[in-house]
């Protein structure tokens, strides 16, 4: 597996990471824990060293899963987790909480669940307009000084937030949605990350599964699958957006690859400091995603994709409004 460095931080990880959220949360009922432990360990055996989780995934159960699965490999992997949500007495999410004292409590709890002495990369999970980002950055800086955290990250933050945080505590990575089906970061965020030396970790690099070509307008999701409330996943939007999958399929056929591999190879070709984190519950999908690292897109291929994609107008918002409001300026 090729390696990449996230920005100026010298945090070296595999060129492709593994997003673990869907194993416990978001895409229907949680998968069998022991099967997922086995899958995560298979990813390590195949050269993946970068694993992504968060306290809110479950909540809490995904961190426990990742901690158990990776405990034999601790010296060889990088684990990223996130803070920022508030939970009720039965574990339900009831809002945001990025107060410094809460951040420190979350760090202690995550350390235990992950079975580690230090969190490799600690992201603020989305943006809280009620807590100055400078206070958040200072709290993580304290944790870094104490040796409990190694690197500071932000998620779905805008340019102003990134600059203000970075001025207090250097930001190693931004985790935000970026793919051929969501390209908003290209306008302002990517140039800012390049200027400041911050890596980008795209979540949903396969468009929440849509860019794999395995989903069409007739696909139905489990009632607990969050895609049921995503405007871009209405049957009408899926039908309209099929044009993008058709484009990927056409190029994939020529390259003897799959649409998912072309979508990931496109992301990897954008910048050397971009590390996508596709998630999966299946070993064959894991192997397919890893195969994307070996797919070489030529400048002509990239121009062709750019030209064809520019003719496609994607339908539907990427998130329901309440989630989109947690994207920072």
Residues 6+ apart with CB under 8 A from 143: 103, 104, 107, 119, 122, 149
Q: Would you say 179 and 206 are in contact if contact means Cβ atoms under 8 Å apart?
A: yes
Block residue for tokens 């200027």: 195
Across the chain, mean pLDDT equals: 96
Q: Quick one: average pLDDT of 61-80?
A: 98
pLDDT bracket for residue 195 (50, 70, 90): very high
**pLDDT over 90 percentage in the chain:** 92
Q: What is the pLDDT of residue 303?
A: 97
Taking the C-alpha atoms of residue 239 and residue 218, their distance in angstroms, rounded to an integer, is: 9
pLDDT bracket for residue 318 (50, 70, 90): very high
Q: Would you please indicate which residues are annotated as catalytic (active-site) residues?
A: 57
Q: Quick one: average pLDDT of 1-27?
A: 96
Q: What is the 3-state secondary structure (H, E, C) of the chain?
A: CCEEEEHHHCEEEECCCEECHHHCCCECCCCCHHHHHHHHHHHHHCCCCEEECCCCCCCCHHHHHHHHHHHHHHHHCEEEEEECEEECCCCCEEEECCCHHHHHHHHHHHHHHHCCCCEEEEEECCCCCCCCHHHHHHHHHHHHHCCCEEEEEEECCCHHHHHHHHHHCCEEEEEEECECCECHHHCCHHHHHHHHCCEEEEECCCHHHHHHCCCCCCCCCCCCEHHHHCHHHCHHHHHHHHHHHHHHHHHHHHHCCCHHHHHHHHHHHHCCCECCCCECCCHHHHHHHHHHHHCCCCHHHHHHHHHHHCCCCCCCCCCCHHHHCCCCC
pLDDT bracket for residue 325 (50, 70, 90): confident
User: 27 - beta bridge partners?
Assistant: 225
Q: What is the pLDDT of residue 321?
A: 82
Q: What is the pLDDT of residue 128?
A: 86
Ranges 59-68, 70-79, 126-135, 162-171: which has the least confidence: 126-135
Q: Is the pLDDT of residue 329 over 90?
A: no
pLDDT bracket for residue 183 (50, 70, 90): very high
The phi, psi pair for 286, rounded to 5°, reads -60, -45
Q: What is the pLDDT of residue 320?
A: 86
Q: Quick one: average pLDDT of 153-159?
A: 97
Q: Quick one: average pLDDT of 5-25?
A: 97
Taking the C-alpha atoms of residue 269 and residue 274, their distance in angstroms, rounded to an integer, is: 9
Q: Is the pLDDT of residue 146 over 90?
A: yes
Domains in the chain, ordered, with CATH? 3-324 (3.20.20.100)
Block residue for tokens 């195969």: 291
**pLDDT over 70 percentage in the chain:** 99
**Each residue's pLDDT tens digit, 71-99:** 999 999 999 999 999 999 888 888 899 99
Taking the C-alpha atoms of residue 99 and residue 112, their distance in angstroms, rounded to an integer, is: 20
**Each residue's pLDDT tens digit, 255-314:** 999 999 999 999 999 999 999 999 999 999 999 999 999 999 999 999 999 999 999 999
Cα distance between the two ends of the chain:
35
Block residue for tokens 């965020």: 189
Q: What is the pLDDT of residue 261?
A: 98
Taking the C-alpha atoms of residue 298 and residue 302, their distance in angstroms, rounded to an integer, is: 6
Dihedral, 44, 46, 48, 52 alpha carbons, nearest 10: -60
């Amino acid at each position: 597996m090729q390696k990449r460095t996230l920005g100026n931080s010298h945090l070296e990880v595999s060129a492709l990471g593994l997003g673990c959220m869907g194993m416990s949360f978001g895409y229907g009922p949680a998968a069998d824990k022991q099967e997922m432990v086995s899958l995560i360990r298979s990813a390590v055996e195949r050269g993946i060293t970068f694993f992504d989780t968060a306290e809110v995934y479950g909540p809490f159960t995904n961190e426990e899963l990742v901690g158990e699965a990776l405990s034999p490999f601790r010296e060889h992997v990088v684990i990223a987790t996130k803070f920022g949500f508030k939970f009720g007495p039965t574990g339900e999410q009831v809002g945001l909480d990025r107060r410094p004292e809460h951040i420190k409590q979350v760090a202690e709890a995550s350390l235990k669940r992950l079975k580690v002495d230090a969190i490799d990369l600690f992201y603020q999970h989305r943006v809280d307009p009620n807590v100055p980002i400078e206070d958040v950055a200072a709290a993580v800086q304290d944790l870094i000084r104490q040796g409990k955290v190694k690197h500071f990250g932000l998620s779905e933050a805008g340019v102003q937030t990134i600059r203000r945080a970075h001025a207090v505590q250097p930001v190693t990575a931004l985790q935000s949605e970026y793919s051929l089906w969501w390209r908003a970061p290209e306008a302002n965020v990517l140039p800012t990350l390049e200027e400041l030396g911050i890596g980008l970790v795209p979540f949903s690099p396969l468009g929440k599964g849509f860019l794999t070509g395995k989903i069409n307008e007739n696909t139905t999701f489990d009632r607990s699958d969050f895609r049921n409330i995503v405007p871009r996943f209405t049957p009408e939007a899926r039908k309209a957006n099929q044009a993008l999958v058709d484009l990927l399929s056409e190029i994939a056929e020529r390259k003897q690859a799959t649409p998912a591999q072309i979508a990931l190879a496109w992301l990897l070709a954008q910048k050397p400091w971009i590390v996508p984190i596709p998630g999966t519950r299946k070993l064959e999908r894991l192997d397919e995603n890893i195969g994307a690292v070996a797919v070489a897109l030529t400048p002509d291929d990239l121009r062709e994709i750019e030209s064809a994609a520019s003719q496609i107008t994607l339908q539907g918002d990427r998130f329901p409004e309440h989630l989109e409001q947690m994207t920072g300026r």
